[in-house]
Structure 1
Amino acid sequence: MSDKPSVLFVCVHNAGRSQMAAGFLTALSDGVIEVRSAGSLPAHQVNPAAVAAMAEVGIDITAQVPKVLTTEVVQASDVVITMGCGDACPIFPGKRYEDWELDDPAGQGVEAVRPIRDDIRRRVEALVAELLPAKV
């Protein structure tokens, strides 16, 4: 791992779970971790319920745009965290992979997205503590 670790969050549409995770990691790492997100079948926009749920905790993801998962973005990342992308994520030796089982917020209202957001936050906080032990 380089001096600045990099994390890639991957879900199918790159519109909910991975965008919330990227938002939390960006905020909680103060720019010390390079944050990426992508989807195997990206949506046209970030889920409005995910945007609203993140705004409730002071994190603005309105400027984010779903991005397609590429081999290059996986290769450029130290840690790859999948959230239901199935077999679409390429596997490379030397990368750390984790699969976070999370409900899909697609088509759900903000009330249903809040617990998913809170679960993601806990997981991201643990990841920051692991990657940047001096920051905790």
Structure 2
Amino acid sequence: MTKIVFACVGNAGRSQMATAFAERERDRRGLDVELVTGGTDPKESISEDARDVLEEEGLDVSGRTPRRITTDDVAGAEFVVTMGCSASEFVPEDWNGEVRIWSLESDETREQRDEIERRVAALFDDLERTA
């Protein structure tokens, strides 16, 4: 099994979108992948904009709550994907996985959604190539 962690600051938008798309990719491809998401400074709720743009794609995150990312979350993970936060805030010193930093080009939620969807698909393409 592969474990992937998606993290951002608030865990209210970008990392939630990435996790939703990753769940869809995992299920479509039938891969054994554990997904974890969290933020370094989690918000009280998922942003309405993120919920709305995911809903446009048939993805429902309305029942989710942002949470803090911890070093325990990273234990055993092969990949940590950050979007706007530093992995050094929560990755243990002895961790030997791969950090991917996704600097998103746009501040507009719909454009971020589309870029995240493309990047998640590419990450899963990489997983399939190395499996």
Task: Output the TM-score relative to the length of structure 1.
Answer: 0.84
Report deviation, 1:61.
1.0
Residue pairs, 1:1-136, within 5 angstroms: 4-30=1-27, 32-86=32-86, 87-91=88-92, 92-102=94-104, 112-133=108-129
Instruction: Give the Cα–Cα distance (whole angstroms) in 2 for the partners of residues 47 and 53 of structure 1.
Output: 10
Alignment gaps of 5+ in structure 1: 106-111
- 8 Å CA contact 1:16–1:104 kept in 2: the answer is no
> Mean alpha-carbon deviation: is it higher for 119-128 or for 63-72?
63-72
Alignment gaps of 5+ in structure 2: none
Equivalent position SS for 1:132: helix
Instruction: Give the Cα–Cα distance (whole angstroms) in 2 for the partners of residues 93 and 36 of structure 1.
Output: 16
CA deviations over 1:19-67 (Å, ceiling 9, x no partner): 0000000011116311110100000000110000000011111111111
- Aligned length in residues: 126
Cα separation, partners in 2 of 1:45 and 1:104, compared to 1, 3 Å:
farther
Equivalent position SS for 1:45: coil
Report deviation, 1:11.
0.3
- 8 Å CA contact 2:75–2:95 kept in 1: the answer is no
Instruction: Give the Cα–Cα distance (whole angstroms) in 2 for the partners of residues 104 and 48 of structure 1.
Output: 18
Cα separation, partners in 2 of 1:128 and 1:103, compared to 1, 3 Å:
same
Moved over 3 A (4+): none
Equivalent position SS for 1:98: strand
Equivalent in the alignment of 1:108: none
| Equivalent residue letter for 2:124 | V
> Mean alpha-carbon deviation: is it higher for 4-13 or for 91-100?
91-100
How large is the RMSD of aligned CA atoms in angstroms? 2.0
Task: Output the TM-score relative to the length of structure 2.
Answer: 0.87
Report deviation, 1:134.
9.1
- Percent of residue pairs bearing the same amino acid type: 33
Instruction: Give the Cα–Cα distance (whole angstroms) in 1 for the partners of residues 11 and 106 of structure 2.
Output: 11
| Equivalent residue letter for 1:50 | A
